[in-house]
């Protein structure tokens, strides 16, 4: 049997010349800016034009482009090796499917069609579901191909995924002399509050991930969830990572910060967390600031992805979380399981 897997992520510019078109693709997505088409296009042009210079300067620190696609490819190579070791009679190919830059989801869909697989699994590298990430990628896939596919829509508390976070966080905590004076910050990408108020389950799912990690780590006595990367004038969900760092400084707390919703290193970890927030922590008198690595190819994370693929191979589901049953409470109407009606609440 030929199994094709499309792994979704946002993507990133691969060279300085790609920064502006990448930003324009991002901000012209109706899932990101909820405005009528002409207004959205104008805003996308304006934002990408005004932000291109500073963004290019940040990408220059990483060699001129985003490391997200190469890092994703390492993850997919590791997953392919794991799946082939488990299924010697299975021909597996895994493609990255990026939303805002090459390889675009549309390009990946055409390649998968040409390969003529027997089964297709869609695997978001966004553990927590949001209309701005997973749903947007699923819509791009649906508009690109008529291939039948099975979808893993989210996995915020999948056991091996949680174990991967625990392992990396515990390794970083081992570098701290005084855990009793240390605050663990779980930083996730923020969202405008109105998106959550409309029924997006992302914030709730982030909270479930953090709860699952903390439950396995009794050594954590002080922790906080916070949200980074705020842009624009809208009210965003909080508390912001900036404010959380300032409060920790006032309390003279060490900070160990872990990117709880990112699985790959990219501009928001390597620049925002490692440079901008490290500088902010120093300005506010934080005694120690340590950042936990993104999951990358951490063995438990690769196992998590392989386990979820195995579940689909053993029992077919159209669209479902790793649990194979809907996890979001009824109030989250933007949950894709609720919209598709594929699973009971």
Q: Give the tens place of pLDDT for each residue, 18-31.
A: 999 999 999 999 99
Give 160-193 pLDDT, tens digit per residue.
Answer: 999 999 999 999 999 998 999 999 999 999 999 9
Q: In this predicted structure, what is the pLDDT of residue 85?
A: 96
Q: In this predicted structure, what is the pLDDT of residue 231?
A: 82
pTM: 0.96
Give 118-144 pLDDT, tens digit per residue.
Answer: 999 999 999 999 999 999 999 999 999
User: What are the CA-CA distances from residue 248 to residues 61, 237, 244, 274 (Å)?
Assistant: 28, 19, 6, 17
Whether the Cβ atoms of residue 208 and residue 169 lie closer than 8 Å to each other: no
316 band by pLDDT with thresholds 50, 70 and 90: confident
Whether the Cβ atoms of residue 80 and residue 121 lie closer than 8 Å to each other: no
Whether the Cβ atoms of residue 204 and residue 156 lie closer than 8 Å to each other: no
Instruction: Write down all domains in the chain, each with its CATH number in brackets.
Output: 159-291 (3.40.50.1400)
Average pLDDT, the chain: 96
User: What are the CA-CA distances from residue 232 to residues 24, 83, 229, 318 (Å)?
Assistant: 15, 42, 10, 36
Whether the Cβ atoms of residue 52 and residue 23 lie closer than 8 Å to each other: yes
Of 150, 175, 158, the residue nearest 295 (C-alpha)? 158
Q: What's the chain look like in SS3?
A: CEEEEEEEECCCCCCHHHHHHHHHHHHCCCCCCCCCHHHHHHHHHHHHHHHHHHHHHHHHCCCCCCCHHHHHHHHHHHHHHHHHHHCCCCEEEEEEEECCCCCEHHHHHHHHHHHCCCEEEEEECCCCCCCCCHHHHHHHHHCCCCCCCEEECCCCCCHHHHHHHHHHHHHHHCCCCCHHHEEEEEEEECCEHHHHHCCCCHHHHHHHHHHHHHHCCCCCCCEEEEEECCCCCCCECCCEHHHHHHHHHHCCCEEEEEECCCCCCCHHHHHHHHHHHHHHHHHCCCCCEEECCCCCCCHHHHHHHHHHHHHHHHCCCCEECCCCCCCCCCCCCCCHHHHHCCCCC
Give the residue with greater pLDDT, 215 vs 317. Answer: 215
User: What are the CA-CA distances from residue 18 to residues 22, 82, 101 (Å)?
Assistant: 6, 33, 8
């Amino acid at each position: 049997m030929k199994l094709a897997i499309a792994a979704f992520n946002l993507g990133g510019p691969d060279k300085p010349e790609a920064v502006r078109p990448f930003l324009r693709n991002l901000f012209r997505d109706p899932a990101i800016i909820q405005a009528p088409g002409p207004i959205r296009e104008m805003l996308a042009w304006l934002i990408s034009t005004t932000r291109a210079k500073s963004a290019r300067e940040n990408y220059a620190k990483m060699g001129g482009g985003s490391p997200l696609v190469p890092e994703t490819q390492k993850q997919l190579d590791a997953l392919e090796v794991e799946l082939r070791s488990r299924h010697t009679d299975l021909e597996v190919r895994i493609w990255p499917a990026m939303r805002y830059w090459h390889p675009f989801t549309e390009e990946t869909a055409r390649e998968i069609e040409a390969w003529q697989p027997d089964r297709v699994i869609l695997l978001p590298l966004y553990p927590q579901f949001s209309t701005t990430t997973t749903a947007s990628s699923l819509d791009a896939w649906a508009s690109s191909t008529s291939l039948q596919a099975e979808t893993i829509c989210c996995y915020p508390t999948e056991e091996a995924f949680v174990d991967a976070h625990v392992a990396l966080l515990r390794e970083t905590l081992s570098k701290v002399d005084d855990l009793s004076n240390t605050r663990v910050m779980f930083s996730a990408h923020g969202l405008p509050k109105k998106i959550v108020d409309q029924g997006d389950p992302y914030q709730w799912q982030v909270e479930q991930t953090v709860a699952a990690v903390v439950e396995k780590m009794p050594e954590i006595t002080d922790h906080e969830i916070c949200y980074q990367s705020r842009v624009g004038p809208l009210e965003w969900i909080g508390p912001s990572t900036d404010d959380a760092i300032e409060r920790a400084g006032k309390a003279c707390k060490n900070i160990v910060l872990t990117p709880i919703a990112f699985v790959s290193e990219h501009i928001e970890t390597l620049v925002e967390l490692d440079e901008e927030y490290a500088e902010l922590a120093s300005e506010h008198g934080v005694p120690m600031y340590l950042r936990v690595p993104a999951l990358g190819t951490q063995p438990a994370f690769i196992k998590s992805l392989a386990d979820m693929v195995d579940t689909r191979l053993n029992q077919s589901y159209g669209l479902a979380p790793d649990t194979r049953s809907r996890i979001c409470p009824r109030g989250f109407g933007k949950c894709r399981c609720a919209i598709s009606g594929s699973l009971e609440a």
